[in-house]
Amino acid sequence: MSLPTQYDDIAEQYKRSKQVPWRYHIEQHSLFDLLGDVLMMPWKLLSDANAYIFGWLVGYSSLLGPIAGIMIADYFVLRKCRLDAGALYSREGPYAYANGVNWRGVAALAAGVAAALLGLGIPPLRWLYDYAWFVGFGVSAVAYLALMRGRIGDV
């Protein structure tokens, strides 16, 4: 389980070592990756299927569902499947936000994650956590559409 994270990061390591060779060393980054892999304790995740599925995978889906909800709401509903490819790389225009961060999107993400994780703290609402991907998707999509209402012009 720890090797795929090391191998997925090789391209990033080479890129950074070429950008700032005086501050960044591949060996140093590999050691940080290795430390992170050990701290994840993959042997505990794989020792019990319930802990892996309902602990790690469902917990991870509580973050991925809201991200998907925001992306789909933005592209299909707000922008109606139209993107201006040139404006994607411009500091001005419809895709430029405050210092590159769409704080309304961050708020919608936080709302979706919070709704999904609410089931961990409140036992009668456990079903929110059990269906974390779908709950987070729906809550973040609705929150994003509400927060971005009137903010998107012609793309």
Question: Any idea which residue has 């090391």 for tokens?
Answer: 6
The residues facing 48 across adjacent strands are none
Q: Is the pLDDT of residue 35 over 90?
A: no
Residue 103 has a pLDDT of: 94
What's the whole-model pTM score? 0.72
- Average model confidence (pLDDT) for the chain? 83
**Domain ranges within the chain, ordered by starting residue:** 1-40, 48-155
Determine the Cα–Cα distance for residues 73 and 76; give it in Å rounded to an integer: 6
CA dist 95 and 114 (Å) reads 26
Partnered with residue 101 across adjacent β-strands are 98
Q: Which two tokens stand for residue 100?
A: 């590159």
Tell me the C-alpha distance between 35 and 31, whole Å: 6
State the residue for tokens 């998707």: 137
Residues 79, 152: contact at Cβ < 8 Å?
yes
What integer pLDDT is reported at residue 1 of this predicted model? 47
